[in-house]
């Protein structure tokens, strides 16, 4: 992990301390968006069978509700896996938000096998996200997971 990722991880740790879920997601999105190549950061929470935008930093998006299975975000929710797209223009699943966006990474926030939410990052650079970004965002997801309410039994 490089120094900018380490600093951002510390910012996220500070952001989640003592905050409720929505405030923590907003602060985490701001901390992540400060990273190079992280043009837009979107935190979607799964509500029923729809991803609902709860916080973001960077460019606005019209996609505030995304059904499971639609777009790259919906694919992650359906498969419960991280998804990296190096060139969104060549991926027919991509839900276009901004003409400048060239690549995207979506990392789930899981509790065991339960999909709670996701961190969606867009970049104006092609192939902007590699294994270090995936590992870093997985750590961020682990920091955010405890903020979600307990699941009914």
Decide if 146 is inside a domain: no
Q: Residue 135: phi, psi to the nearest 5?
A: -65, -45
Going from the C-alpha of 104 to that of each of 25, 42, 100, 131, the distances in angstroms are: 19, 11, 12, 13
Q: How far apart are CA 98 and CA 87, in angstroms?
A: 13
pLDDT of residue 18: 86
Decide if 144 is inside a domain: no
Decide if 132 is inside a domain: no
Q: How far apart are CA 91 and CA 112, in angstroms?
A: 29
Q: How far apart are CA 95 and CA 83, in angstroms?
A: 14
Decide if 140 is inside a domain: no
Decide if 106 is inside a domain: yes
Find the domain containing 67 and state its range: 3-126
| Per-residue pLDDT tens over the stretch 137-146 | 999 999 999 9
CATH number at residue 32: 3.30.450.40
| Per-residue pLDDT tens over the stretch 89-144 | 999 888 887 789 999 999 999 999 999 999 999 999 999 999 999 999 999 999 99
Decide if 151 is inside a domain: no
| Per-residue pLDDT tens over the stretch 16-62 | 888 899 999 999 999 999 999 999 999 999 999 999 999 999 999 99
Decide if 23 is inside a domain: yes
Q: How far apart are CA 51 and CA 77, in angstroms?
A: 8
pLDDT of residue 48: 96
Decide if 25 is inside a domain: yes
Count how many domains the chain has: 1
pLDDT of residue 92: 86
Flag whether pLDDT at 153 surpasses 60. no
Start-to-end Cα distance in the chain: 37
């Amino acid at each position: 992990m490089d120094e900018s990722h380490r600093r951002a991880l510390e910012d996220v740790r500070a952001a989640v301390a003592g905050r409720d879920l929505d405030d923590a997601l907003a602060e985490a999105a701001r901390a992540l968006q400060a990273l190079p190549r992280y043009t837009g950061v979107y935190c979607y929470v799964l509500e029923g069978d729809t991803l609902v935008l709860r916080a973001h930093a960077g460019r606005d998006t019209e996609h505030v509700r995304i059904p499971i299975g639609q777009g790259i975000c919906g694919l992650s929710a359906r498969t419960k896996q991280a998804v990296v797209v190096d060139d969104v223009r060549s991926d027919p699943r991509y839900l276009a938000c901004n003409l400048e966006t060239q690549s995207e990474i979506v990392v789930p926030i899981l509790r065991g096998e339960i999909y709670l939410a996701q961190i969606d990052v867009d970049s104006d650079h092609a192939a902007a996200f590699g294994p270090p970004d995936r590992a870093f965002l997985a750590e961020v997801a682990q920091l955010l997971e405890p903020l979600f309410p307990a699941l009914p039994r």
